[in-house]
Structure 1
Amino acid sequence: MKTIKTFVVVAALSLISSASFAQTVTATASTLDGAEAQIAAKAKMAGTGYSITEAYAGNQVHMTAQLTK
């Protein structure tokens, strides 16, 4: 019984630590390449990769990405 409780606690803590890392970053530029370059620079500064989750092109490009480990 104690082993099961320990396993549940460890599993919960590992999920919390990975979920707490997820960070969203945004960038605004005049082109898609410019916005992605800003996202890439932010990810490089954080030492992570990134996944673009949203991009909107009107008068300017607004891009959102999630940083990944």
Structure 2
Amino acid sequence: MKTIKYAVAAIALSTLSFGAFAAEAVSATQAQNMNKIGVVSAEGASTLDGLEAKLAAKAEAAGASAYSITSANTNNKVSGTAVIYK
């Protein structure tokens, strides 16, 4: 019974923390009303979706609530940059 309580509590906490801190992609128009707090870059992804996931993770780690991808390069491995906002 204790195990079930702990499992339910862990799932609830992880769901709440993911939703509270996840940075989301925004368009350039949406970004106009936000405060720019920096730029992040990522490299070594094998797909554009992988690049977006890496940029989102870096934006979240930097404390951003949103990001806007500004460049992507597919020279062998995918790399790119994103402006991050709060």
TM-score band w.r.t. shorter chain: 0.5 to 0.7
For structure 1, the residue ranges without an aligned partner over 5 or more in a row are 1-17
Tell me, what secondary structure is at the counterpart of 2:51? helix
Letter in 1 for 2:77: Q
Question: What is the TM-score normalised by the length of structure 1?
Answer: 0.63
CA-atom RMSD, angstroms?
Answer: 1.5
Structure 1 Cα separation of the partners of residues 37 and 71 of structure 2: 16
Query: Identity of aligned pairs, percent?
Result: 52
Aligned residue pair count: 50
Structure 1 outlier segments of 4+, above 4 Å? none
- Comparing both structures, which one devotes a greater share of its residues to helix? 1
Question: What is the TM-score normalised by the length of structure 2?
Answer: 0.52
Kindly report which structure 2 residues correspond to 1:1-69, keeping only aligned pairs within 5 A, or say none: 22-28=37-43, 29-48=45-64, 49-69=66-86
For structure 2, the residue ranges without an aligned partner over 5 or more in a row are 1-34
Query: Which structure has the greater CA radius of gyration?
Result: 1
